[in-house]
A and B are shown apart, each in its own frame.
Chain A
Amino acid sequence: MKGRNEMGKKINIWVVITGAVIGIAALALTAFGNPANMGFCIACFLRDIAGATKLHTTAVVQYVRPEIIGIVLGSTIMAAATGQFKGRAGSSPAIRFLLGGFVMIGALVFLGCPLRMVIRMGGGDLNAFVGLAGFAIGILIGVFFLKKGFSLKRSYEVRGIEKVALPGAMVVLLVLFIAVPTIFAFSESGPGSKHAPVWLALVIALIVGALAQKSRICMVGGMRDAFMFKDFNLLSGFLVIFVVVLVGNVILGNFKGFSTYLQPIAHASQLWNLMGMVIVGWGSVLLGGCPLRQLILAGEGNGDSAITVFGMIVGAAFAHNFKLAGNAASLTDDVYSAGGITNFGQVAVIIILVALLVVSIVNIPKKEGN
């Protein structure tokens, strides 16, 4: 066990290191081919995998993103090396599957998971600051229900191969991607066609996954713990990513000031930027972690997080099959479109908010409900 002083420290150095490495890795991946302001985006990359495996057929967002595979397996390796690779499951798995889908749809309405939100902020995208406001509101709503006693109930130790569900799936995906890539669909244009070299992305993601497992960095945990316990440990990682990406973009000459206008793979329909991230913040608090954290926990053998990730992949397929995802701003023949979401997307957002409210209320124990 660690000494008393080390445990009481307000900020863990590993969170700061992980934040810095994620920031640098995001800049590097974009420099080597990933879309702008998308060095990492857990939601977008799971969506691309859903496209590559033909769960949806939106031609511009189909690619087997090695970043997802690397993050999960990096977590598995670090957890195994430190004796933390353990099978756990049984905490409301079906509800977690649905919540994973909801969080994904909210993220695709905004066009990014919380990690990409921070990366977009560091790229000067003011729309992402509106997303941040929504994210904070969502987290506050989630915290309100946590304080009321909200819980998806306890998990249990599970033996056998439950713990390798997601890491195993990632190994199979990687082998198929390398051995028989022709079975997958790959974008020829659009964000899905832009990617860093496979091995570079995989190695960087393995490092990020291992560090994220060690530090437990979590985009939603930062604000949640700050609001609930005045604990700023995880929030420090969030802030470090923002600062590193911002400074890095300035140094690399990518930074053109803060603006809402024509930002890469982003729209300026602010109500829906806000509402999308309300869903992500709220849903992630109920799940106990952001999409990145779900990948890491699943990598550690947590079956509840694995089912959440599968829910996110299905949510991504729904988002594109039913045209719920945001459409990016564009400039075609000098005609500017601010982008936004369809009426279907707007209805979906409202339905999901109602569903989150129901899930939040019914999981408060009666005796603690008042």
Chain B
Amino acid sequence: MLDARGLSCPLPVVMVQKEVKKNSPQELTVLADNKVAVENVSRFAINNGYAVEVSEDNGEYSIKLTKQ
């Protein structure tokens, strides 16, 4: 679980990139609170072989990445 809430881009993507490079997790959940972060993290994840599922709860987003 990575908490990228409150961080503006590119920092959420940097966090995800670091985690993917270090541990190449099968599953990873990223928390974000703005649409830009959601879209940028999703784009990075898809281009790096992950399936992306986004759910929103009251302005906070949970981005679930699953290795394909």
Contact = CB atoms under 8 A, between A and B. Distances in A.
Given A4-B46, A233-B43, A288 B35 contact: no
A147 B47 contact: no
Interface in B18-68: 33-36, 39, 42-44, 46-47, 51-52, 54, 56, 59
B10 A224 contact: yes
A155 B7 CA distance: 6
Given A7-B39, A8-B46, A288 B54 contact: no
B35 A84 contact: yes
Nearest to A82: B35
Interface residues of A, number: 30
Interface string B1-21: 000011111110110010000
Contacts of B42: 7-8
Contact of B10 (A9, A90, A146): A146
B44 A154 contact: no
B43 A288 contact: no
Contact of A229 (B6, B8, B35, B44): B44
Given A155-B6, A156-B6, A288-B10, A229 B46 contact: no
A8 B43 contact: yes
A151 interface: yes
Contacts of B35: 84
Given A91-B6, A146-B10, A231-B43, A4 B17 contact: no
A1 B42 CA distance: 11
A229 B39 contact: no
B46 to A, nearest CB: 3
B7 A151 contact: yes
B46 A7 contact: yes
A308 B58 CA distance: 28
A162 interface: no
A228 interface: yes
Contact of B54 (A1, A90, A91, A146): A1
Contacts of B43: 7-9, 231, 233
A288 B14 contact: no
A231 B7 CA distance: 19
Contact of B11 (A1, A88, A151, A157): A151
Contacts of A233: 43
Nearest to B14: A146
A2 B35 CA distance: 11
B6 A154 contact: yes
A225 B10 contact: yes
Interface string A135-156: 0000000000011000100111
Nearest to A1: B54
14 contacts: A4-B46, A4-B51, A7-B43, A10-B47, A88-B34, A91-B8, A146-B14, A154-B6, A157-B33, A221-B10, A229-B13, A233-B43, A288-B9, A288-B11
Interface of A: 1-2, 4, 7-10, 84, 86, 88, 90-91, 146-147, 151, 154-157, 216, 221, 224-225, 228-229, 231, 233, 288, 297, 304
Q: What are the 7 A-B residue pairs with the smallest beta carbon separation, nearest first?
A: A154-B6, A8-B46, A7-B42, A1-B54, A288-B8, A155-B6, A154-B7
